[in-house]
Amino acid sequence: MFRKNTEKPRTPGPGGAGTVSAAGIAGVFRDCYDFELRKLRLGGEGLEVALAFVDGLVSGGDISEQVIRPLTEARRFPAGTTAQGAMESMLSGSVYAYTAKKRQNLEEAVDDILNGYCAVIFDGEGVAVTFEVKTDQRRSVEAPKEEKVVKGSKDAFVETMKTNTSLVRRKLHNPHLKIRDFSVGEKSKTALTLIYIEGFTNPEMVEEAAKRISAIECEGALNSGIIESGLVDNPRSPFPQVLHTERVDKFCLNLLEGRFGVLVDGIPFGFLAPGTFSQFLKVPEDHTQHFLVASALTLLRYFSVALTLLAPAFYVAVAMYHQEMIPTRLMLSMIEAKQQVPFPTAMEALMMLLAFELLQEAGIRLPSPIGETVSIIGALIVGQSAVEASVVSPVVVVVIALAGIAGYTMPNQDLGAALRICRFILVLMAIALGMFGISLGCALLVYHLAGLESYGVPYMTPFAGSEGREFSRALLRRSFQVKRDREPALRTGPGGEAKL
């Protein structure tokens, strides 16, 4: 969809390619019904200029009051005002728009117009002055939908870049907070900002991120996937390597830990890197709860990772090859339950895993009210009916359901999806090689994770690469009364202990 198109669009103009003119701009916006171009006389009777804008991106009221009215006032632009004089006057504040830019390049002028500016074009000079008059029509800041916290702030990112950056600025009143802007996508020219704290965030990481962002080649950056794949070190790995969050406080907290953030216009969440495995198991509520509670819940999440990954494979291996591990009473009831089931254990497990995935997909794709109902009905009725019809044994249903529920405790859905893929692979290895297959599969999985890096930070930090000193940081949350060192892996700037 976003293959690079090397053919550059032609932008003809009377002054030649690249110079600003009304005809040139009109030519660019040919066949655009929302494009407006009107002629104005400065001061009412003076020099003729053209006003170009895209209706829908600009505020009509602001254009009228802040741009057209002062342009047509004779006291501001008396008769005989030259183009140069008019331009200087506009740039000096005679026009009330809070942003004014002088553009001598057609492409820049077009970009401005597409970003909610209106352009006052001086045809004879080949120059335009653009004023920001963006419309206020945007989604308002709402509470987060996915990452809900009881005792936290209730603002989440929206689609508008400037709103998002302002939300960040409101939380971090730090003059060293830098926001570098980029444009991604040949045709969409999506705005993207790289946010970091100068002197604190590792500059090598920042420069590497800037390089990668600049290297993103696509025609349109309208979804997060293209941005993520450009940011990560290993795009082929199913495991997420970049955090994303809709919460502004979580975004800022990670900036304060030494990460850098990326905001993209049109995408209502922020990206954070470097991302490590332990980060994907943290939730915003960890910082609002008591440290013991937060630590216990973090450990529960790690347990859930093991459960979702290993439970089905463990069951298959034990039921097929290692029945001696099953306690006698349980074994008797399992044998009894399996008497009428025509399928072997391996098929049962695979069928139930597939059914679980189908129900989950159906629940997501269907509209909300139906989707929830389908999921519940599917889970209860289909599962129960399958057991009663002796299509599957109840133990398999329990095991797969447990594994699925454990997967839902993952705070990050990308991680949950990656674990689901690995779960399937481990089940296949258990079918082929029993417990040996599971251990070999897990060893290879750990090897794969150990090989991942995110901007020079090992993915399995702090379990690996931290010299054994930061282990507890991943599993437990220390009390805020205890002064903590920053994460050494992020190689932040000087400053000693972190104060939170």
- 216-275 residues in contact with another protein (CB under 8 A) are 236
Specify the DSSP element, H or E, that contains 440.
Answer: helix 413-451
Does 433 interact with another protein (rule: CB under 8 A)?
yes
- Cβ closer to another protein: 408 or 436? 436
User: Does 436 participate in binding another protein (rule CB under 8 A)?
Assistant: yes
Taking the alpha carbons at both ends of the chain, their separation in whole angstroms is 44
- Residue window 337-356: x/- pattern of binding to another protein, with contact defined by CB under 8 A: -xx-x--xx-----------
Report 451-470 residues binding another protein (CB under 8 A).
451, 458, 460, 463-465, 467-468
Shortest spacing between CB 479 and another protein, in angstroms: 24
Q: Based on CB atoms, which residue is closest to another protein, 168 or 474? A: 474
421 scored as a contact of another protein (CB under 8 A) = no
Provide, rounded to whole angstroms, the least separation between the CB of residue 307 and another protein. 14
Q: Per rule CB under 8 A, is residue 450 in the interface with another protein? A: yes
Q: Does 394 bind another protein (CB under 8 A)?
A: no
- By CB under 8 A, name the one of 51, 242, 307, 334 that touches another protein: 334
Phi, psi of 69 (to 5 degrees): -60, -55
Select the residue interacting with another protein from 17, 32, 446, 500 (CB under 8 A): 446
SS3 421: helix
Q: What are phi and psi of 15, to 5 degrees?
A: -85, 10
Which run of H or E residues covers position 69? helix 69-71
Q: Give the range of 36-44, 225-233, 354-362, 440-448 binding another protein by CB under 8 A.
A: 440-448
Interaction mask 270-309, another protein, x per CB under 8 A: ----------------------------------------
Query: Quick one: 104 or 333, whose CB is closer to another protein?
Result: 333
Q: Does residue 435 interact with another protein by CB under 8 A?
A: yes
The nearer residue to another protein, 40 or 431, going by C-beta atoms, is 431
Contacts of 388 (CB under 8 A, 6+ apart): none
Q: Where does residue 247 fall: left (phi above 0), alpha (psi -120 to 50 degrees), or beta otherwise?
A: beta
* Site residues (CB under 8 A) for another protein, limited to 99-128: none
Q: How many residues bind another protein (CB under 8 A)?
A: 52
Counting contacts by CB under 8 A, is residue 424 touching another protein?
Answer: no
What is the Cα–Cα distance from 114 to 220, expressed in whole angstroms?
A: 15
402 part of the interface to another protein, by CB under 8 A: no
Contact 197, 176 (CB under 8 A): yes
Phi and psi at residue 182, in whole multiples of 5°? -135, 165
336 binds another protein (CB under 8 A): yes
Report the C-alpha gap between 218 and 228 in whole angstroms.
Answer: 13
Q: Judged by CB under 8 A, does residue 431 bind another protein?
A: yes
According to CB under 8 A, which one of 443, 480, 485, 500 is a site residue for another protein? 443
Residue 473 engages another protein in binding (rule: CB under 8 A): no
d(CA 28, CA 40): 20
Instruction: Say if CB 297 and CB 276 are below 8 A apart.
Output: no
Mask 47-86, x = binds another protein (CB under 8 A)? ----------------------------------------
One residue of 175, 327, 367, 496 binding another protein per CB under 8 A = 327
Q: Output 376 or 446, the one with its CB closest to another protein.
A: 446
Residue 412 to residues 39, 55, 406: CA-CA distances in angstroms? 53, 39, 13
Evaluate whether 218 touches 184 at the Cβ level (below 8 Å).
yes
- C-alpha to C-alpha distance for 296 and 197, rounded to whole angstroms: 32
Using DSSP's 3-state secondary structure scheme, residue 468 falls into coil
For the chain, give percent helix, strand, coil, nearest 5.
Answer: 50, 15, 40
Strand-pair category, 127-132 with 190-197: unpaired
Q: Which long-range contacts (CB under 8 A, 24 or more apart) does 175-181 make?
A: 176/200, 177/255, 180/210
Considering only the stretches 53-61, 184-192, 323-331, 349-357, report the one whose residues sit in contact with another protein under the rule CB under 8 A.
Answer: 323-331
- Whole-number Å distance between alpha carbons of 215 and 482: 42
H or E stretch including 191?
strand 190-197
Task: Say whether residue 489 binds another protein (CB under 8 A).
Answer: no
Q: Applying CB under 8 A, does 488 fall inside the site for another protein?
A: no
Residues that bind another protein (CB under 8 A): 236, 317-328, 331-336, 338-339, 341, 344-345, 428-429, 431-440, 442-444, 446-447, 449-451, 458, 460, 463-465, 467-468, 471
